[in-house]
Structure 1
């Protein structure tokens, strides 16, 4: 219990730090720029100095302003510099400051030695010039960004123009606002719009600018559902997902323009308070953590100089958490999922429900929400953060961020549009779409992902729950291993571990794990072998007993192998799409992976080599292990020094002898 409290405290501390720094939901996204001249210019040293001062003043001002400001240095001289930033109306102070500072730094890289430039990001615009542009309407240059979805409703464009006209009217009602957003109904669908003008304009100029941008839409984006049009003086965005925050962050009156001196005292005070708060929290968390670890080391007899592995297999030390993992605000996730609406729900697992959502830039994501009734959810959440955040491979699902806020614990992953492998493989209609070429690609991809986990990653990770439902498929049907809630990491030189109670799915479990609680890389190899045979035949291992006269998939495959009839295992719909030798080789490898004795199974590196070779002579397989079928979710690991696990602590049903 103490360990869980410490872990939650540390993770929450990291989230607090992230909100005070630049590790927030996601980095501002660059949209475009205009350098006003295609060639570099010869700027005086005074102009460059004044430009750097303007950039610095505006960057530091953004965090304490109301989302907009302008300033100038050297007015009425040949070296005068005028600068302005304007953050989107729904962006908070810290996000605005991050966007502005990023833009101020980036504009010098993208527009070197330019007397004037403008740069757009998704959350802000940044401008500077050697001429005073404050209060002047500027609609050129402009950027048009059409969405990727084509319209299906012939009234889409007309409705969009009407909707944006209503927002233009709302935005120009009061000069100090210059911003409006809204939700609109289109038949049974929703549309969302946002308009904003630079707040150095008046109402008439704002209306002219937005009308000019709206006039560009039919030509640039008339056939698309979503689009964005931007100019130096205004912007508008329209899409089919909620890309803005519901609470306007910058609708308050404009701040006074910052002079050369600025309000340095208030800024210094704020920065000092933040630094002190961060340091105090860091010291408190470190003290608690090291006291806990010292007590635990004394209790278990582990020397403090070693890197201990906890009872649940988590490596303690500098690699415990990836501080670079973005922290996504809860308000964005609630908006993205319509407050966790059932309409956005993709499914549910032991961890809790999974929802589909969109990040602010439109990126589709899958969001796991820790269920308050999940007994092992906290452990799974911790595992996902520890492991997936550090693992990067094309055949592993990517963790984009997390959220620990208001008693909510959420994980945000890349969205896999083709769902999981079992969704296709075990459905009579969808299985027909999985031809042999696709299945072979999935077989190879899963093998490469496991090889990375076992041998090539920063952590040596044992997945412990590999099965068809934990393999996701991307847009091109490439496999990605997911769900690391039960995963365990091994220290260098460690080959196996014991647990008092097994967790995972019987039927995919190696016999030494199911019966004795021993798990290792060879346990994953066994699971891979079962999955490989399932992919070949298109049938579930768990339901095979009922169809094949009491034989498990493994025994049935073995008997066909011994009788020289291995091709009878092949899914009938594949018979005209595959190569006989490839199928027999894959069945051979699958049987090698499910050997009863772990020593007889190949490593995943061996498996990858065997799959890639057409000339290698493979060893003869022996009788495979038994197969069992039942889901177990309770887990309590123990070190090797602990007593042997009790098999009687779990009930194993449907045991089939060899």
Structure 2
């Protein structure tokens, strides 16, 4: 009996999905989102000393990308205008290996695309990597944030309010954190028979008050009528979706240990499929706070 050509796409998808049951998620390619270098529209390079310090800084950040809390900041250079400040932040639910891979990719990205710029930041789904000629530690930065949204909307009454309330609860939990200012939450939306998944995170060097303010500003910029939306910022970020986009098995309650590699791999499959589909419906635009 011959093979039905119409069934081939489904068959290929099934093979990929089954094979991913045995994937190890700690060595995944990071998902690039966007990059920004400043100053824009100029070809005038920074001085050679600053460029040399930038290369040293990015190398040191990569070498420290195994920190337990997924965050690190430092500066190189002894005096202005040659001092470079830099930091990285990995998403609170990813493994150390994924964090390390993401920072390595970010370093190469910035060296390639922002080699002679005073300021650079690159966002991946799993991390952000940032440097500047100005002091950026323990300081909230609002002016370089971006909003992403799913172009598909939800029209049911009460949806936006439910999303806002759940996001506010998630933000409050993240702001209370110490080692990691990171939180996730899910809620059943009875009006549309869907589960809402939310995430909020700040750089851990921020105070609880500054983190809370940053997250609230970001929440105010979310496109709450969409099926999903996120705000990417250098100091904090928020996101909601109608599918599980984070490794839920890696963010259990404090007293509940993870149940091993198999559970993590299965969770990865649950995340990969909706991400691949929903990415087709996303758009991004800068948000002037």
Q: TM-score range by the shorter chain?
A: 0.7 to 0.9
Counterpart selection for 2:207 from 199, 202, 222: 202
Q: Number of matched residues?
A: 246
Gaps of 5+ in 1: 1-14, 252-328, 338-356, 366-658
Where do residues 294-305 of structure 1 align in structure 2 (5 Å cutoff)? none
Instruction: Describe the shift of the 1:232–1:163 C-alpha distance in structure 2 as closer, same or farther (beyond 3 A).
Output: same
Secondary structure at the aligned position of 2:117 is classed as: coil
Please say if 1:168 is aligned against 2:171.
Answer: yes
Whether 2:266 is the aligned partner of 1:334: answer: yes
| Aligned counterparts of 2:148 and 2:265: Cα–Cα separation in 1 | 25
C-alpha distance in 2 between matches for 1:210 and 1:362: 23
The 2-side partners of 1:333 and 1:145 are apart by 27
Q: How far, CA to CA, are the matches of 1:223 and 1:125 in structure 2? A: 26
Encode CA deviations 1:540-569: one digit per residue, 9 max, x unaligned. Answer: xxxxxxxxxxxxxxxxxxxxxxxxxxxxxx
Q: Is the 8 A contact 1:91 1:248 kept in 2?
A: no
Confirm or deny: 8 A CA contact 2:181 2:202 kept in the other structure.
Answer: yes
Decide whether the 8 Å contact of 1:32 with 1:143 is kept in 2: no
Q: Does 1:154 align with 2:86?
A: no
Deviation string, structure 1 residues 112-149 (Cα, Å, up to 9, x no partner): 31011111110101110111111111012111110143
Question: What are the Cα deviations for residues 74-107 of structure 1, in whole angstroms up to 9, with x where unaligned?
Answer: 1433211111000000011000000011011102
**What SS is found at the alignment partner of 1:363?**
helix
Alpha-carbon distance in 1 for matches of 2:273, 2:94: 11
Identify the residue that residue 229 of structure 1 maps to in structure 2: 231
Secondary structure at the aligned position of 2:156 is classed as coil
- Residue 138 of structure 1 aligns with which residue? 141
Alignment of 1:564-643 (within 5 A): none
CA displacement at 1:65 relative to structure 2: 4.3
The Cα shift of 1:191 comes to 0.7
Q: TM-score when scaled to structure 1?
A: 0.36
Distance 1:204 1:236, change over 3 A: same
1:182 has 2:185 as partner:
yes
Instruction: Say if 2:200 and 2:239, in contact at 8 Å, map to a contact too.
Output: yes
2:196 corresponds, among 184, 188, 191, to 191
Q: Would you say the 8 A contact 1:144–1:230 is kept in 2?
A: yes
Query: Against the structure 1 CA distance between its residues 198 and 40, is the aligned structure 2 distance closer, same or farther, given a 3 Å change threshold?
Result: farther
> Whole-Å Cα distance in 1 between the matches of residues 120 and 247 of structure 2?
29
Question: Bigger shift: 62-71 or 199-208?
Answer: 62-71
Q: Distance in 1 between matches of 2:243 and 2:231?
A: 17
Partner of 1:41: 44
Q: Select which of 110, 115, 119 maps to 1:116.
A: 119
Aligned counterpart, 1:128: 131
- In the alignment, which residue of structure 1 is the partner of 2:276? 363
- Secondary structure of 2:275's match? coil
Aligned pairs for 1:500-511 within 5 A: none
Seen in structure 2, the aligned counterparts of structure 1 residues 230 and 51 have a Cα distance that, compared at 3 Å, is same
Cα distance in 2 for residues equivalent to 1:360 and 1:237: 18
Structure 1 pair 101–122 and aligned structure 2 pair: CA distance change class (3 A): same
* CA distance in 2 between partners of 1:360 and 1:140 (Å): 33
Shift of 1:360: 7.7
Match of 1:30 in 2: 32
> How far 1:154 sits from its partner (Å)?
2.1
**Equivalent residue of 2:103, what SS?**
helix
Residue equivalent to 1:216: 221
Aligned pair partner of 2:86 in 56, 59, 83: 83
Which stretches in structure 2 are left out of the alignment for 5+ residues?
A: 1-21, 255-260, 279-289
Q: Which of the two has greater strand per residue?
A: 2
* Cα displacement (A) at 1:108: 2.3
Q: Take 1:74 and 1:135, find their aligned partners in 2: how far apart are those partners?
A: 19
Whole-Å separation in 2 of the counterparts to 1:333 and 1:64: 23
In the TM superposition, residue 40 of structure 1 has moved relative to its aligned partner by 3.3
For 2:126 and 2:219, how far apart are their aligned partners in 1? 20
- Could you say which residue in structure 1 is the equivalent of 2:14? none
Which of 1 and 2 has greater Rg? 1
Cα deviation, residue 361, structure 1: 7.2
Shift of 1:111: 2.2
Residue number in structure 2 paired with 1:239: 241
Q: Give runs of aligned pairs for residues 343-358 of structure 1, distance below 5 A.
A: 357-358=270-271
Q: Give the direction of change, closer, same or farther, for the CA distance of 1:215–1:166 in structure 2 (3 Å limit).
A: same
Alpha-carbon distance between aligned partners in 1 of 2:265 and 2:86, rounded to the nearest angstrom: 34
Aligned partners of 2:90 and 2:99 also within 8 Å: yes
CA distance in 2, matches of 1:64, 1:78: 29
Matches of 2:139 and 2:127 in 1, distance apart? 18
